[in-house]
Amino acid sequence: MAGGYVKIEKFSEGRCRQMFNMKVVQPARLDLDTKFNFRCHKGIKCFTLCCSNIDIFLTPYDVLRMKNRLGIPSEEFLEKYTVARVDEKSSHPYAYLRMAADSERRCPFLVVPDGCTIYTDRPVSCRYYPVGQAMLKKREEEEIVHEEFYFFVKEEHCLGFKEEDKWTVESWRADQEADLYDGMNREWKEILMRRNLPGKIQLDPKKQAQFFMASYDLDRFRRFVFESRFMDVFDLAKEEAEKIRTDETALMKFAFRYIKYLMMMEEALKVKEGVVPPKKETGPKTSKQG
């Protein structure tokens, strides 16, 4: 990513964690108390097979954890380890792990035969596997509510289902720290769901760049907030400004509010009295179209 640019590619159809090939998705909708057998371990014949030839969709909290695990800034992480693709339906740009450019398409964090080198900070979709998670938007009386649900992903090569360890979806989620990840990403995912609402806004390339920065490029977003006119324009309490300066997860959640402001979803940020708000499409240049 020379010069701090992220090359955004068009979305390609493929096998993506969270957007699975429907042939491997089991049609039944699971409850938290649905039972299943599963064990994944180094001695199993299929060990590491699930970490190649797949596209791994990333959430903001995935990137935060992985860049900190590697001890590098978000810009460097995104440049080295991800590709950005625009989902043509929603026009949102998303980050995916950059797989090897050969026929095996191995994950950059996979070492054979040892496995995942960032295991305790692996992305949430790797944590959930072989359970898939999705969100449904429903209208309840006057309110739109989001309901999370689960399904099995059964790939032929995965032998873990033949093992004897017993789980429920709930105990699997707890074991995989999925609650923490879902809690961190929930507000962002709800923003993504709004793409289906009437009157949705298609993002132009400049807004896509801002969306991408606020979603994934946290160190750049911090500079945008504290080293541009941002603080002169938006009305932020002193304590809140201090919190987002010093607490990365608070900064990430503040970035979600900025995305809402950008997408004109609600009055997520208040402009100071007497200040003319900046045009939302202006801001630091963070990406270009590929």
Residues that bind ligand SF4 (CB under 6 A): 40, 44, 46-51, 56, 107, 109-110, 116, 118, 122-123, 126, 129, 157-160
CB of 128 to ligand SF4, least distance (A): 11
CB of 216 to ligand SF4, least distance (A): 16
CB of 185 to ligand SF4, least distance (A): 16
| Residue 93 or 123 having the CB closest to ligand SF4 | 123
CB of 211 to ligand SF4, least distance (A): 24
The strand ranges marked E within 23-179 are 35-37, 55-56, 82-86, 93-97, 110-111, 115-116, 131-140, 143-152, 166-168
| Residue 175 or 240 having the CB closest to ligand SF4 | 175
CB of 175 to ligand SF4, least distance (A): 13
| Residue 111 or 197 having the CB closest to ligand SF4 | 111
Q: Is the Cβ–Cβ distance between 60 and 216 less than 8 Å?
A: yes
Q: In the beta sheet, which residues pair with residue 150?
A: 30, 133
| Residue 155 or 283 having the CB closest to ligand SF4 | 155
Task: DSSP for 171-225, please give it.
Answer: HHHHHTTHHHHHHHHHHHHHHHHGGGSTTPPPPPHHHHHHHHHHHH-HHHHHHHH
CB of 166 to ligand SF4, least distance (A): 15
Helices H, strands E: what count in the chain?
10, 12
| Residue 161 or 226 having the CB closest to ligand SF4 | 161
What stretches of 56-132 show up as alpha helix (H) in DSSP? 60-70, 74-81, 124-128
CB of 145 to ligand SF4, least distance (A): 31
Residue 218, Cβ neighbours under 10 Å: how many? 23
Rounded to whole angstroms, the Cα distance separating 42 from 124 reads 20
Paired tokens of 220 = 């750049």
| Residue 118 or 193 having the CB closest to ligand SF4 | 118
Q: Is the Cβ–Cβ distance between 11 and 85 less than 8 Å?
A: yes
- Residue type at 183? G
| Residue 6 or 97 having the CB closest to ligand SF4 | 97
